Structure 1
Amino acid sequence: MGIIEKAKKDDLAITTDITLNGHQLFHYAFDGTSPDNDQWIIRKNRVVNRFHKSSYHVGIELQESGKTMEESSLLSSFEYAAHGGAFPIIIKNVGVVGTITVSGLAQEDDHALVLAVIKEFLGL
């Protein structure tokens, strides 16, 4: 089941995005979301593209270090959001080629939704 189908089934108000090499391939916003969700997606994607890790992973690393994005990397939190919901799309022997992102829920839930769909897709 894909993100859209899962969100419909669970009655979730999310915005989701798939970007490949900076080209937006897919974007869908459910009723109940706003342009703010689009901005969160942009900021989360910047984190993934910069660090090649999920945005949640980077956020946890920052939390554990006790540092902000500015202190750790000299990056503005107005442009980079280390909050859950964005994952790198990685191709073996190539590297990170894009992102798959959800915004609209608590960050742990954004992360969990994408993770659940990726695991199902990969048969894990």
Structure 2
Amino acid sequence: MSESTRMVELKQQEEELVFASFDNHDAWRLGSLIANHAISSGHGLAIDIRRHNVVLFRCVLPGATSDQEDWIRRKSASVLRFEHSTALLSERFTDYDPTQGGWLAPEEYTLAGGSFPIRVRSAGVIGAITVSGLSSDEDHQQVVDGIRNYLKTVAPS
């Protein structure tokens, strides 16, 4: 059985978007980059960057709702558990949603797109960056574009 084009794309993103290192300053710069892009695009987003349960960056822009807090918590929990983006997990679990079958508690996890692993070369996944406020695909794209731009302009390897 061959993988879907979307699955291949999502796996390539995770292979491509790897940091040489990542600290609190990187979280601030990356989060600010995504926030500034959202502001210029008129998007009301909530943005969260965490190293497991420690929040390194948080921004809630005008237009975001209180629901985004819950979405961020659940999306990032999924990334930290499986070490893959929620978009990839959603694509992988097309036939079975583990949050609906008793495996994962739906109040704790979601497969909605918009959370992406912070993967550091030679260290693995050390955290998650999550955006909430648009559609799942748009949230995912905000994160991917932000990381890609950050790696090209701010923290080239």
TM-score by length of 2: 0.73
SS in 2 for 1:98: strand
Larger mean CA deviation between 68-77 and 6-15 belongs to 68-77
- Structure 1 spans left out of the alignment, 5+ residues: none
Alignment of 1:25-104 (within 5 A): 25-63=56-94, 66-70=95-99, 74-104=103-133
Q: Which has the higher strand share?
A: 1
Provide the rounded CA distance (Å) in 1 between the counterparts of 2:151 and 2:101: 33
Report the CA distance shift for 1:70/1:83 in structure 2 as closer, same or farther (over 3 A): closer
1:119 alignment partner in structure 2: 148
Unaligned runs of 5+ in 2: 1-31
Q: Identity of aligned pairs, percent?
A: 31
Give SS of 1:80's match. Answer: coil
Letter in 1 for 2:43: L
Q: Displacement, 1:93?
A: 1.5
Q: CA RMSD in A?
A: 1.8
In structure 2, relative to structure 1, the CA distance for the partners of 1:72 and 1:52 (3 Å cut) is farther
- Does structure 1 retain, via aligned residues, the 8 Å contact 2:117–2:126? yes
**In 2, Cα distance between equivalents of 1:71 and 1:102:** 23
Secondary structure in structure 2 of the residue aligned to 1:123 = helix
Once residues 46 and 120 of structure 2 are traced to their aligned partners in structure 1, the CA distance between those partners, rounded to angstroms, is: 24
Aligned counterparts of 1:92 and 1:72: Cα–Cα separation in 2? 34
| CA distance in 1: counterparts of 2:99 and 2:68, whole angstroms | 22
Which residue does 2:16 correspond to in 1?
A: none
* Higher Cα radius of gyration: 2
C-alpha deviation, 1:70, in angstroms: 3.7
- TM-score norm. by structure 1 comes to 0.91
Q: 4+ runs of 1 displaced by more than 6 Å?
A: none
Number of corresponding residues: 122
Shift of 1:20: 1.4
Distance in 2, matches of 1:70 and 1:25, equals 27
Cross-structure match for 2:22: none
**Which region of structure 1 is more displaced relative to structure 2, 35-44 or 91-100?**
91-100
Q: Distance in 1 between matches of 2:99 and 2:141?
A: 26
